Structure formats: C-alpha cells, structure tokens
Chains A and B, each alone.
Chain A
Amino acid sequence: MRNPRLILLSVFLLSAHFIWAQTRTITGKVTDRAGNPVANASVLVKGTSTGTVTTAEGLYSLSIPASAKILVYSAVDMEPQEVTINGQSVINISLAMADKSLQEVVVVGYGTKIKKDLTGNIAKVKGAEVQSMPVPNLNQALQGRAAGVFVESNNGKVGEGVKIRIRGSGSLSASNDPLYVIDGVPINNSSASGNPLADINFNDIESFDILKDASAAAIYGSRAANGVVLITTKRGKAGKTVFQVNTQYGFNKPTHLRGFLDAKEYVDLLREAAINSDNIEGVDPLDPAQYPGSWLEFAEGRLTRYSGWSDWHTLQTNTNWEKLAFNDNARTSAVDLSASGGNEKTKFYFSASYNNQDGILIGNNFRRLSSRINLDHSVSDKFKVGFNLSLSQTLSGRVPNDNEFATPMQIVALSPVTPLKDLDGNVYNTPTTTYSNPYVDYVDGHWRSTIYRNIGNIYGQLNILPSLFFRSELGADIQNQNDDQFYGFRTTYGTGTNGYGESDWYRSLDYNLNNYFNYKKTFASVHDVEAVVGMSYQRYNSEYANVYGEQFPVEDLQKLASAGLIKGGTSSSSNASFVSYFARGNYKFNDKYLLTVSGRVDGSSVFGKGNRYGVFPAVSLGWIMSEENFLKNSDFISFLKLRGSWGLTGNADGFGNFSSLGLWGSASYAGTAGLITTQLANEDLRWEKSNQVDIGIDFGFLRNKISGELDFYNRKTQDLIYNVPVPGNSGFTTQTVNIGSMQNRGVEFVLNTENIATKNFRWSSSLNVSYNQNKILKLDGDQTTIPGNDGRYLNSLIVGESIGVFYGPKFAGVDPNNGDALYYEQDGKTTTNDYDAAGNFIVGNPNPKVTAGLTNTVSFRGFDLSFLFQGVFGNQILNGAGGFMSSSFDWFDNQTKDQLKRWQKPGDITDVPQLRLGYGNGISASSRYVYDGDYVRLKNITLGYNIPASSLRKVKLSSLRVYVTAVNLLTFTNYPGWDPEVNTDYRAGNRNQGSDFYAAPQIKTIAAGLNVGF
C-alpha cells in the first residue's frame, strides 16, 4: 500500500511547475504586534517551495503563480500565520509572538510530543538554562528549577552524593532515585565510590525532560516509580558549522563556618566539667590530698598531653582546627569546546570539555575530561542511522566518609590547645592530638579515584511507510573505576602497620536494546492517531576486585607491589536483567480531546521465579478547552487545558539482586574456608507498585504572557519493599519483604510570566512551588512503628507519619536545681533525668513540606542577568554529632560555642546541661539535637554582557559574552550547623534523612567566564 497523500503531493508539485509561467506579484510588510518590522520572515506559497524572505525593514515582494491561494508567513519566535490571497496584491500582516512553551518538543520516552498535546506531567529544563554553571553534577544544576523535583547534596564534598526525589519518597528499602535515560540508554547509577552522574558533562545536554506522573513515566514501567529523567544531548543542524568556546575561572569557599571553643574557653570548660564529675563522686579535686585519681587530674593530664611542646596553663597555643579542614585556596576552572553543523544528509555535534574543581575540604578535588560525538546520517529517505558516544575521565581526590576519624571535618574535635606541628615541623598526631589528626592523612595519604565512563548508542530507523517507522537502538554504559589509596606511617589507617595501601577496581557494563514501531496518522483530518509498540532488554553486570596491604618499606613506595604484607583481597560480581514489552497509543480528536493509553510488561531477574513479571498500565485524558468555540476568541485566556492521568509503575531497584533467596556466603577461620549465613529467604518477594493519579491544568493568559501549570497528585506505593527488622534470635537482623504502603500527596504550581518585553529590556520570571506530604499508610501486619533510635539518630517508620521522622525522647531542658538534662516521660508532662525512662515522641520530620524555586531573567541591551532563589521549608535536621560536639564536655572533643551557656549553679535557666566529664549528661539522641532546616538560598546568579555583533564582525566572531556567575552566594537559615542542605553521607538512605554528622558545608563558588561563538 502506498500513501495516497504522498502521490497527491507529488502531482501537486509537478503541476505547480508546469504553470509557473502564469505569475503575479504580491508585496507587503511583516511586523510584530507592536508594529516593529520583522526581518528575515519567510513568505511562502502554501504547499510549494515558492517563497522569499523579508528585508531588514520587514518588506517583501513575491511573484506567485496564479493558482496560489494561500500564503504562509513565519519567522523565528513568531506564530506562523496563513492568509488567503483572494486577489489582493498588497498584504501587510502582523505576527504574534509564538508561545514557545506550547510548541516546545518534549521527549516522552520512545518518542516526542509537543507540549500542547501532553496529557501527562513532564517538567522540562533546557540545557541552556544550566549551561556553564560551576557545579560538577547535573542534578545540582537542576536544583530549584522544576516543580516537584527536590535536590539535596549530602554535603560539600565535590562531585559526590546528591539526592533527588521526584514527588517525594516512594519507597522504604528500594531505590528512591529516578531512572536516568541518556539518549535512550538507561544509565547505571551506582559506582564503587563517588557519584556516577558526575561523569557526565552537562554542557552537552540539550534538555532534561523529567517525567513525573504515572502516565508519562509508565512507558518505562518497571523502573519508573520514582520518575524518569530523560536526557537528550545536543545534535547538529544543517548549515554553517558553529563553534562555541566557553572558559571559566573562579574560587570555591565553604558557605558557612560553625565556630568552636577557643583555647581559653576549652581549658576553662573542661576543668569545670572534670570538677563537676569529681563533685558527683564526693571528691574535691581542688584539695591537693584528693587530687590524685580525680577526674581533674585526668583532665589536666590530658591537657598537658594535648598541648605538645606548648603550655596550656599560659594558653600558649590557640589553634582554630575548623579552619584547617578547609583548603583556603580552592579554585575552579573549566574550558568547553564544541562544533556542530552538517548538511541535509549528515549532521554532527562534537565537544570536548575540561572541568577542574578543588573541593573546599583539604584533599578533596575533582577533574573531568570529556568528549562527545553525536552523528546522524540519512542513508536514504527511508533509512536513517546515527550514533552518540561520550567518553570521559574523572579524576577525584576523595576524603573518607563523614564517620571516619580521617575525614577532614572531624578535625574540629581536636583541642585548641594542641599546636598543628611539633618543634621539628611535623604535624602532630595521637597521642598529642585527641584523636587521629585528619591533617596527617591529608599530608601523608591520598585516595585517588579514576573513572573512565563511556555512554553510547547506535540506532537505525527505517521508515516502512510514511506513517510507520521501525527504530532499533543499542546502547551501552561502561564504567571503569580504580580507587588507589595510600596512607603513610603516621596516618590513622597506617599507624602501627607501616602504612596502608588499597587498590579497588570496579567495572560495570550495562547494555540496553530497544526495538519499537511507531505509527502516526491523521484520519479525516480530525483523528490524530499515534501508536508505539516495542520491547526492550537490559542487562546489568558489575565486577569488583580489591586488594589491600600493609608494611611498606618507605613512604615513597605507595603501590601494593611494595607492601610487605598483603592483608586481603576480594573479587565479586553482580548481574541483573530486565525484559520488557511495551505499547502506547495516543489519540487526538479535533485538536481538542486527547487520550493516551499505555502498558508495559516487565520481567526482572531480581525477584523469585513466581513473581518476576509485573504489568504496568496507564491512561490519561486531556481537553484543550481553549480550542472550544466558547473560549477560542477570548482575549484573556489564550490557552487552557485540563488533563488527568492514572497509572501504575514499578520499582525493582536498590535492594539487592537476589533478595528473595536464602543465602550462605563464604567465611574463613583458622586459614580454612567456611560457609556462613548471609541472607534470610523470602520467596514471596514481588514488585513494589506505585499507583498515581494526577489532575492538572495548563493555562496561558494574555497571549501567554502569563502561563503555568497547576497539578494535584496522589501517589500510593503498595507492597513496599523493606528490610524489616526480625527477631535476632533467628540469626538474622532483617528480611527483605513487601510490607505496607506509603502515600505522597501534593500540589505543584508553575507560573511563568513575561513581565516586560520591549525592544531593549526584557524581564521574565518563573516560579515553581511544590507541596508534598509523605505518609506511611501501613507497615507489616499490625505493626505501627519501627523505631530507629540508635543513640545518635532517631529516623523511624511510623504509620500515619512521614518516612524517617525523628521519633525518640523529647528534651525538657535543664533542671534548674542540679543541671541535669531532663526528658519528658510518656505522659508528655512529667520530666525525668533518666533517658531510658523518657517517653518517645515525634520530634521532627526530615521531609520538606514545601520546596520552591524562583528564576528571574532580565536583559537590557547587551546585558543579561539571571538569578535563581531556591528554598526548602518545613523540615528538621538532627545533628548526630551533637553527643560529641555539643555534649557538655562529656569527653575531650572540642565543643560548639553554645556550650558556653551551660548550667553552672542552682537557679540557672538554660538549655545546656551541667558540664560533666564522662557522665553523659543528656548526650543521647533526643529533640535536643533537632533543629529546623528551612532555608532560602541564592542558588545561582549570573551577570553577562554580550559584545554587540557589529563590533565582532571585524574579528570574525559571531558572538562574545563575558559573565560572572556565583553558586550558593547567599544562604538564609536558622540552622545553627554548617549548612542546612545536609544528609551525612555514611548513612544517607531512604529512611535515614536529615542527619548531620561532621558533614562539610556546601560549596560557594564565584567564577568569571567567557563564551565565544564563531
């Protein structure tokens, strides 16, 4: 069967050629609605290639064949318009500004749609909006830019963990991260260390399309419960080859320093704490007879030890250790080069990029070299091939996790009476320093991580019929990582063993095959039908090996070849696969009524044999009310669409590849191998399913000068996968089971406004506000609470509350009579100084209620200014290190300044308990260490100037822009810690949120740069 339309068109084109002789001329002027002439507008006889473009004054003159009936006027950024000629010889026309937001192409997974026709909720962030932002990780660039997308960096370590939650947390033990798909390839989001997304140069990215509701995401069924981030990289356009060069240079600083006691305060308070402890035991240490064996003797002995060569009595040393955790000369630099272009048959985009950022912490840095080639080639009208390939190398200087003595931030625990160096110039370590000194690890150790990352795919697309094509994509994501560590003889890890060396190798190969048909046709000019049917197969493989050793002959020999003792080594591998079949149908009637139905069947290897397959359907409806006659001519309402969707999505990631099996793994004793239990079986383990309803309105007022979206959603996750605590007498602590359900309900609001649009001055704003309420609806059986108080943290699971709420003792202040820390008993009124007798209460929620972003873009002549404020509201943070750093001198850790307000004598009203060395006065986890985590931040501000094109012609440049940009320039918060954007890396998880533990503050960057085009 041939397409009758194509034949018709050919016949029409031929006949047009034959009647060329009979012509007449039409002239006129094209203006915009403000009356300004539009240059380079195209004027075309409809259905032919006969046409012209307007002059700089907007004038045109066009010879047309007598048969011509309609002229089509179009121009960049304008709404095209058709005019019936009807014998006119002069046609002046004014074009409206195109509402680009509605014509914008949105990537929907196995296809694209224009935004106007969408029935699901997809947030689009253009690559251009985040271009040149000096952050290493693309998620950080998205922070605050899309409604319902919550982004949080764990801490200020450069290029490391970033949490992203789309419409809240949907899962307990399975992954809550969205699926990332780059040019059709679902990428691997795990690595041996660091953050695999940091390997991606986001200056290559054309757009991010974030699929939020179930109907949008369901086509990725099994993996889509937490949303999908579709990333499309830049592609070439036919025409002149365009070169772009961007360079950037700047500085990194911590957003905030916390402040600790100085030497005098340290000595005074420590002695006071020791004396208090002695007094409890009935000892007066100030009496020389009672001094021996007293706490005071112990403490003063420690002061002497900590002072090294100096004398604490005279406060000879006053070291600010907190400052020493930071590199005060941290720089950032970047260079990007790209070339794109091609002809009608072949198009290309090439890029190379170099990004070098020093972290703010000592020993922490990040360097990425990356390149990309994207090629598309039309073999014939019917057959198109292409490929995308990126290759990057990421080199990172890492620092240990927040819970290690060797991590730079734990340096704050050291005593200010300790000098940095001894008299020979060596950095002091234990026993002079209170704990292992991270500065020694910085000087005498390294942890270098090298990652080679290759993400690519090839595709072929065959147009079987004009309305039917078949596309096949084969993609791969390859990661090759080596972490090389060495710690010298005096370091935390290397003391007593003459050094410590470790080499870790990690390789992952994920490949993905997609095959699908796409059919698209309009019937009777009012029925638009599109259908997609296909399958996909994904396979994940990772291999890991490591070896570590001790006893190095000299510190200069740092590879394991020189280790006198190989302590251990391992190799392991993991595999998983998915087989999926999917279909989607779209129907549009009369450009007004929209229907999308999709379904996906997924099989996953991670479940037991009987539970492998899941079915994930979705349906959505849209009604473009503004196309109805009663609104069509409204001056006020330019666009109005109602949409609603329902769908089911699944989750099979993040809880291990073999969780349904009862497993035994290897053990070793006395040099002989053995077997030991590793996992409790659960044959019934099945898909976690997420059921989501979304109702939304898209609106545009006043020729879309004001536009936006309002969405209500309700996402209910059932069969939650959780490592539920089981009685320890089973020999196990947890079992992976499907328990209960959880709900995320919320509202998202997006408002884009064109505030001022004159020839020289333009100002537009974009606001997004999201409200999300997360609630656990059901846990296992009759269980309503899985408490999580482990002494440092309180993240718990409680029916009716949000995931990870802080549940534990409520601090009732300090007993004015004796300085004891008090807690409320379960009645909420009586107080007790016995922590074990304290009641349990919900004392905080780490999930933000509201997140918001506000972008303003202003341009004036050659200047452009944009700034993004981002805010997080309604969440709390628990400082898990409170029991060390704000602990009434329970031990020798230096204390936060607030401890100066301690209880000293009967009658004192304060919330800092009496100082007691070794007596743990109120230091276990409670509401005492819970703080509000709300903040508003000037996330990004950029001021640029474009040198006028007229001046550039002489130097043969097409564009030249200089700019300054800043990230995290200002932060407004009441959180007393380092930074309210925090979730300590060593325990960050679904339930474990909102916790601070020596987490580095975020990075503040100020940089200047240059963009050149030619």
Chain B
Amino acid sequence: MKKVFIIIAASITVITGCTKKLDINPTQDISDQEVFTSDANIKAALNGAYDAISNSYLLGGDFQLYSELLAADGEIRWAGTYNQPREIFSKSILTNNSFVTNTWTAGYNTINICNNILNAIDKVNTADQDRVKGEALFLRGLTYFEMAELFAKPYSDGNASSNLGLQLITTPTSGGISDANYVPRSTLQETYNLILSDLTEAKGLLPDDNDVYANSFTASAVLSRVYLQMGDYANARDEANNVITNSSYSLTTTYAEAFNRTSNSSEDIFAIQVTAQDGANDMQVFWSIPQYGARDGDVDVLQKHINLYDPADDRLKLFYLDGQNIYRSGKWKLQYRNLPIIRLAEMYLTRAECNFRLGTTVGATPDDDINNVIRKRVNLSPTTITLDNILLERKLELAHEGQRIQDVKRLKLTVDGFDYDANELVLPIPIREINASNGALQQNDGY
C-alpha cells in the first residue's frame, strides 16, 4: 500500500508544474504591445512601411503596370497568360480580379503601418520625431494618392466633391476590427484633401536629404503630381520648381543610365529599392523576357508606339527586339533592379507644361526645359514649343513608367475607344471588400 502512495505521489509531482509549460511565445514575431514601446522598434516599423509600399502589388510594379495597361491604346499589348492583367488591358475587369484585390489590401496594409507609427510618434527620440512622422505621412499620402488614381473617377471630371473616393482610415487597427473599419467611402475631394495635407505636412517635417528614403523634395515632387492631377498648374509648377532649383538631384548624362540600376541614379527623387535578396520588380517580371529571368515577355511594345519616336531619339534606342522580333521596353530589362518612381525629368516636364499653360517662366522657360534639358539629353534637336509637343515629350520621356493613365485622365484623352472618364478605366472595388464591409463599401459605377 505504501508503494501505491509513493507512485501516486510521484505522478502528482509529474503533473504539477505542467501549467507553466503552456507559456510558449512565437519565435519569428513579436506581439503588438511590444512593438510600440521603443524608438528602435518604431523606426523598424517605418522601414517596414517602405517594405509594404514596395510590395509588387503596389509600387513594386503593379501600380505602374495597371496604369500602362489601362492606357494601352494599341501601343502595347498584354500577351501574357495571366488573365488578371489581361482583364485590365481589355478593360473588362471582373470584381474578383485577384491582382486588384491584392492591390487594395496591400495599400491599406501600408496605410495601417503608417497609422501605427503616427499613433506612437511620441515614443520616438525627440531629435528624430519630425523625420519619422514626415516619412509616415509621406508614405500614407502617396499610397492614398496612387489608390485614388485607380479606384476613383478622375479628378478632372469636375465632380470631385460628389464622386466617391476612398475609405479614409487614419487610426491604427489594434486589438481587432472596429466600427472605424466599416466607414463609407469619402468623396474624392475629401480624399485629395487628406493626400494634400499628409504630403504638405510631410514636406515641412522631412529633411532635405534622407538617403534612399523620402526627403522634403520627394514630398514636393509627389505634391507636384497631385496638383497637376487637380489641374492646379501654379502649385504643380512651384513644387516642381522647388525640386529642380533647391535639391541636389541632376539628370543622368545619358537616358539609359537612368534605368536598370542597382542604386539610385542622380535623378531618382524616389525609387523602390530592389536587390536579389529583397524586394520585387513586377515591371521587370512582366515586361522583360525569360533570358533575363522574367516571365514570357508578357507585355509587347507595338509598332504604333515605336513610330512616335524620331529615329535619332536615344529613348528609341533603349527598346530592344527579342528573338521573335517583338519590341521590349529596355527600362525594365534586367532582374533585381530598382524601380524609379519619380525622376527629375518629370519635374522639368511638369514645370514646362505649367509655365506654358500659365504663360509664366518660373525657374526657366518651357523652351529651356524641353529643348535644352529633356531633348538635348536624348540627342534630339530643338522643337517648337506647343502644348502638344510638351505633352508628347512627356509621354515619350515617361513612357512605360506607370504615368500614362493619369495623364490620359487629366488631359481628357480617349484610349482604346474609352473616354477619359469611362467607368471601364476605373478599377472595381474588389468583391472581397464589398462582401467584408457589411454594406459600408459602395462599388464603383459600371461594376
């Protein structure tokens, strides 16, 4: 009987103390409470926000791809097998398009990280608070802007205060989903107001130099884009002029030098950093060919586009023919290269266009910007300065860099038979989001 007790006692000893064994923590992640406790962690989250915006569904290439495919107009063709980009190319986008769905969620993922940083900004060392806050505001403003360009009607149609914009989320998601996640879409004007306020505040907070990260001129350059989209030529001009005259950026000697780079060029105001180990470049994946580690040459450049160039144009020489004699964009030829998001050349083009439209010569004359800066570099003789010529110069200079549909919309052009404000040129709100929104989220017209 004694033995029985000994065994029972022994096994009870084994049993007790086990509850502690249920305390197990993850090894690859840390809990959200721990993140926002230190300066170093919040700065790490800021780097995470850059990583989030560099996602292939955002500035890692798909934002740019969508813009070019929507504005294809017989100058490029989606020849790849994926039908998600093909739907965008043919302007018959289904609401279950997985690329579009992922772009939406990746965009708000970036925004949520920024909101978390902004919410905990007082934990950052005082000396760095302005910079960190400025970068978070910049990334949030830029993300909202890029999303508004694709998911909302163009600002240029004049109905911004009644057209639907985005759901504006400015507080971090913590502990779960709340009512804040079931808000209706704000108007496009309200969306632009947030974008302008984020970018303007960022511009004031950011330093003039910040390695490959956003600085005050990066914010200025994006503001220039936003104003241009709004038709506010004076502000667009002034922001562009600010970048040209006050920053240290300079055009690369040759046009080709601006692309296929492993580090930023002298004219990269902002570029997504890509290395073999890290980052995605979906433009290269879809526009290049298997020989360079890409997919199957999914985007063909067609003769109609090639015909736009003067034979002497260095920009023409950047195109190359693949084994099937199809033109490929040389801007996206090599694997693991940075994606230029805003180049200094765009600032010259914007300044020239706005000066021309306003009859001003802030910074320089349009003739100077177009002929002595942009055309000179690509080995072209001067041209007459007309609005059409400035816009053509802009189109060729920025070709296939993800700006085309924005220009089509603000200039009220027609592409592939669709008017600039056609429902088909606006991406649908993903059906996944409509379903998850409990009715709060309104679908775009035409879907």
B30 lies within 8 A of A669 (CB)? no
Question: Which of A579, A675, A678, A786 meets B41, CB within 8 Å?
Answer: A675
B29 lies within 8 A of A665 (CB)? yes
A736 to chain B, nearest CB (A): 11
B104 to chain A, nearest CB (A): 5
A920 lies within 8 A of B83 (CB)? yes
With a cutoff of 8 Å between Cβ atoms, the chain B residues found around residue A675 in the complex are 30, 35, 41, 44-45, 47-48
Question: Which of A567, A604, A662, A890 meets B83, CB within 8 Å?
Answer: A890
Confirm or deny: A672 has a beta carbon within 8 angstroms of a beta carbon on chain B: yes
A573 lies within 8 A of B23 (CB)? no
Confirm or deny: B181 has a beta carbon within 8 angstroms of a beta carbon on chain A: yes
Given the known inter-chain contacts A669-B51, A674-B51, A731-B108, please indicate yes or no for A462 contacting B181, CB distance below 8 A.
no
B42 to chain A, nearest CB (A): 9
A717-752 contacts to B, CB under 8 A, are 725-733, 735
Given the known inter-chain contacts A431-B322, A725-B436, A731-B109, please indicate yes or no for A670 contacting B431, CB distance below 8 A.
no
A430 lies within 8 A of B290 (CB)? yes
B176 lies within 8 A of A735 (CB)? yes
Confirm or deny: B98 has a beta carbon within 8 angstroms of a beta carbon on chain A: yes
Given the known inter-chain contacts A496-B294, A725-B436, A920-B92, please indicate yes or no for A577 contacting B105, CB distance below 8 A.
no
B276 lies within 8 A of A550 (CB)? yes
With a cutoff of 8 Å between Cβ atoms, the chain A residues found around residue B3 in the complex are 464
Given the known inter-chain contacts A535-B15, A670-B50, A923-B83, please indicate yes or no for A462 contacting B7, CB distance below 8 A.
yes
Given the known inter-chain contacts A430-B290, A729-B108, A731-B108, please indicate yes or no for A920 contacting B15, CB distance below 8 A.
no
Confirm or deny: A362 has a beta carbon within 8 angstroms of a beta carbon on chain B: no
B26 lies within 8 A of A658 (CB)? yes
Confirm or deny: A835 has a beta carbon within 8 angstroms of a beta carbon on chain B: yes
A435 to chain B, nearest CB (A): 7
With a cutoff of 8 Å between Cβ atoms, the chain A residues found around residue B52 in the complex are 667, 676
Q: Which segment, of B166-174, B228-236, B373-381, faces chain A? A: B166-174
**Measured between alpha carbons, how far is A606 from B96 in the docked complex, in Å?**
33
A252 to chain B, nearest CB (A): 31
Confirm or deny: A791 has a beta carbon within 8 angstroms of a beta carbon on chain B: yes
Confirm or deny: A696 has a beta carbon within 8 angstroms of a beta carbon on chain B: no
With a cutoff of 8 Å between Cβ atoms, the chain A residues found around residue B28 in the complex are 572-573, 665-666
Confirm or deny: B212 has a beta carbon within 8 angstroms of a beta carbon on chain A: yes
Confirm or deny: A663 has a beta carbon within 8 angstroms of a beta carbon on chain B: yes
**Measured between alpha carbons, how far is A550 from B14 in the docked complex, in Å?**
51
A658 lies within 8 A of B182 (CB)? no
Number of A-B contacts (CB under 8 A): 267
Confirm or deny: A789 has a beta carbon within 8 angstroms of a beta carbon on chain B: yes
A790 lies within 8 A of B96 (CB)? yes
Confirm or deny: B251 has a beta carbon within 8 angstroms of a beta carbon on chain A: no
B24 lies within 8 A of A605 (CB)? yes
Question: Which of A669, A735, A787 meets B54, CB within 8 Å?
Answer: A669
With a cutoff of 8 Å between Cβ atoms, the chain A residues found around residue B360 in the complex are none
Confirm or deny: B27 has a beta carbon within 8 angstroms of a beta carbon on chain A: yes
With a cutoff of 8 Å between Cβ atoms, the chain B residues found around residue A672 in the complex are 47
Confirm or deny: A190 has a beta carbon within 8 angstroms of a beta carbon on chain B: no
Confirm or deny: B161 has a beta carbon within 8 angstroms of a beta carbon on chain A: no
**Measured between alpha carbons, how far is A678 from B181 in the docked complex, in Å?**
18
Given the known inter-chain contacts A674-B46, A786-B435, please indicate yes or no for A663 contacting B26, CB distance below 8 A.
yes
**Please, which residue of chain B has its CB at the minimum distance from the CB of A573?**
B27
**Measured between alpha carbons, how far is A435 from B97 in the docked complex, in Å?**
22
**Interface code A276-304, partner B: CB below 8 Å = 1, 0 otherwise?**
00000000000000000100001001000
**Measured between alpha carbons, how far is A729 from B322 in the docked complex, in Å?**
42
With a cutoff of 8 Å between Cβ atoms, the chain A residues found around residue B84 in the complex are 791
B324 lies within 8 A of A301 (CB)? yes
Q: Considering only CB atoms and an 8 Å cut-off, how many residues of chain A contact the other chain?
A: 96
Confirm or deny: A671 has a beta carbon within 8 angstroms of a beta carbon on chain B: yes
**Measured between alpha carbons, how far is A666 from B438 in the docked complex, in Å?**
32
B290 lies within 8 A of A836 (CB)? no
**Measured between alpha carbons, how far is A658 from B26 in the docked complex, in Å?**
7
Question: Which of A293, A497, A575, A835 meets B293, CB within 8 Å?
Answer: A497
Confirm or deny: A603 has a beta carbon within 8 angstroms of a beta carbon on chain B: yes
Given the known inter-chain contacts A674-B45, A675-B44, A728-B433, please indicate yes or no for A680 contacting B324, CB distance below 8 A.
no
B431 lies within 8 A of A579 (CB)? no
**Measured between alpha carbons, how far is A662 from B90 in the docked complex, in Å?**
41
Given the known inter-chain contacts A664-B45, A675-B41, please indicate yes or no for A681 contacting B182, CB distance below 8 A.
no
Confirm or deny: A763 has a beta carbon within 8 angstroms of a beta carbon on chain B: no
Confirm or deny: B335 has a beta carbon within 8 angstroms of a beta carbon on chain A: yes
B290 lies within 8 A of A496 (CB)? yes
B27 lies within 8 A of A574 (CB)? yes
Confirm or deny: A7 has a beta carbon within 8 angstroms of a beta carbon on chain B: no
A891 lies within 8 A of B296 (CB)? no
**Measured between alpha carbons, how far is A73 from B98 in the docked complex, in Å?**
74
**Measured between alpha carbons, how far is A575 from B335 in the docked complex, in Å?**
38
**Interface code B82-93, partner A: CB below 8 Å = 1, 0 otherwise?**
011011001010
A669 to chain B, nearest CB (A): 4
Which of B98, B111, B277, B292 is the most central at the interface, judged by chain A CB atoms within 10 Å of its CB? Answer: B277
Confirm or deny: A946 has a beta carbon within 8 angstroms of a beta carbon on chain B: no
A670 lies within 8 A of B212 (CB)? yes
**Measured between alpha carbons, how far is A574 from B24 in the docked complex, in Å?**
9
**Please, which residue of chain B has its CB at the minimum distance from the CB of A725?**
B436
Given the known inter-chain contacts A496-B291, A669-B51, please indicate yes or no for A662 contacting B181, CB distance below 8 A.
no
With a cutoff of 8 Å between Cβ atoms, the chain B residues found around residue A515 in the complex are 11, 14-15
Confirm or deny: A142 has a beta carbon within 8 angstroms of a beta carbon on chain B: no
**Measured between alpha carbons, how far is A513 from B14 in the docked complex, in Å?**
10
Confirm or deny: B127 has a beta carbon within 8 angstroms of a beta carbon on chain A: no
Given the known inter-chain contacts A574-B27, A681-B176, A731-B112, please indicate yes or no for A612 contacting B22, CB distance below 8 A.
yes
Given the known inter-chain contacts A667-B51, A674-B45, please indicate yes or no for A836 contacting B108, CB distance below 8 A.
no
Given the known inter-chain contacts A665-B29, A674-B44, please indicate yes or no for A727 contacting B430, CB distance below 8 A.
no
A494 to chain B, nearest CB (A): 9
With a cutoff of 8 Å between Cβ atoms, the chain A residues found around residue B49 in the complex are 674, 676
B22 lies within 8 A of A579 (CB)? yes
With a cutoff of 8 Å between Cβ atoms, the chain A residues found around residue B412 in the complex are none
A614 to chain B, nearest CB (A): 12
B112-168 contacts to A, CB under 8 A, are 112-113, 116, 167
**Measured between alpha carbons, how far is A431 from B326 in the docked complex, in Å?**
12
**Please, which residue of chain B has its CB at the minimum distance from the CB of A580?**
B18
A633-691 contacts to B, CB under 8 A, are 657-658, 661-683
A509-541 contacts to B, CB under 8 A, are 513, 515, 517, 534-535, 537, 539
With a cutoff of 8 Å between Cβ atoms, the chain B residues found around residue A658 in the complex are 25-26, 29
With a cutoff of 8 Å between Cβ atoms, the chain A residues found around residue B169 in the complex are 729-730
Confirm or deny: A19 has a beta carbon within 8 angstroms of a beta carbon on chain B: no
B175 to chain A, nearest CB (A): 5
**Please, which residue of chain A has its CB at the minimum distance from the CB of B447?**
A836
Given the known inter-chain contacts A657-B26, A667-B48, please indicate yes or no for A728 contacting B11, CB distance below 8 A.
no
B29 lies within 8 A of A790 (CB)? no
A676 lies within 8 A of B113 (CB)? yes
**Please, which residue of chain B has its CB at the minimum distance from the CB of A683?**
B175
Question: What are 27 A-B interface contacts by the 8 Å CB criterion?
Answer: A431-B289, A496-B291, A515-B15, A517-B8, A658-B26, A661-B31, A662-B175, A669-B279, A670-B211, A674-B44, A674-B50, A675-B30, A675-B44, A676-B45, A679-B29, A680-B176, A725-B436, A726-B181, A727-B167, A727-B441, A729-B108, A730-B112, A730-B173, A731-B108, A735-B176, A783-B438, A891-B83
Question: Could you list which residues of chain B lie within 8 angstroms of chain A, going by C-beta atoms?
Answer: 1, 3-4, 7-8, 11, 14-15, 18-19, 21-33, 35, 41, 44-52, 54, 74, 77, 79, 81, 83-84, 86-87, 90, 92, 94-98, 104-105, 108-109, 111-113, 116, 167, 169, 173-177, 181-183, 211-213, 273, 275-279, 289-294, 296-297, 302-303, 322-324, 335, 430-433, 435-438, 440-441, 447
Beyond A567-B276, A668-B47, list 19 extra A-B contacts (CB 8 Å).
A430-B290, A472-B11, A495-B291, A581-B15, A603-B18, A661-B32, A662-B32, A664-B35, A669-B273, A671-B273, A674-B50, A675-B44, A727-B433, A728-B430, A729-B181, A730-B112, A731-B113, A791-B84, A891-B81
Q: Nearest 5 CB-CB pairs, A to B? A: A731-B112, A496-B293, A674-B47, A674-B48, A662-B32
